[in-house]
């Protein structure tokens, strides 16, 4: 388990936008698209302890991708690759179970910001 003390914890963050329904512009010309409290722009991804040996993660990725029916040369795993349907169908997804098992096995954290 990761040490929750922020003064000790050092993580590598890998992030992307998380199926946002809005665009974020950093110019004054697109003010209508800037975040509001009602419609935030959210980043999310995974975080890995900098002190963990990432070679075991890299070696396991091919096996994980095979389990969820993806090719070994995939650059990213999107939500649509592991689950779809309504909330209950998503919870029953065996691919989503494999995804969470992979994260737990390699001590990979999920975050949103």
**CA separation for the pair 110, 103 (Å, rounded):** 8
* Reported pTM: 0.71
pLDDT by residue for the chain (113 residues), tens only, comes to: 555 666 677 888 888 776 655 555 566 665 555 555 556 667 788 999 988 888 888 889 999 999 999 998 888 888 889 999 999 999 999 999 999 999 999 999 988 87
In the sheet that holds 108-112, the strands lie side by side as 11-17, 43-49, 108-112
Q: Does residue 108 contact residue 52 with C-beta atoms inside 8 Å? A: no
């Amino acid at each position: 388990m990761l040490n929750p003390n922020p003064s000790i914890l050092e993580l590598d963050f890998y992030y992307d936008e998380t199926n946002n329904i809005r665009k974020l512009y950093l110019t004054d010309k697109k003010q209508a698209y800037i975040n509001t409290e009602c419609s935030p722009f959210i980043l999310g991804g995974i975080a890995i302890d900098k002190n963990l040996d990432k070679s075991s993660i890299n070696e396991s990725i091919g096996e994980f991708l095979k389990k969820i029916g993806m090719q070994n040369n995939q650059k990213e795993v999107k939500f649509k690759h592991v689950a779809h349907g309504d909330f209950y169908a998503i919870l029953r997804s065996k691919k989503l179970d494999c995804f969470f098992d992979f994260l737990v096995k390699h001590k990979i954290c999920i975050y949103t910001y």
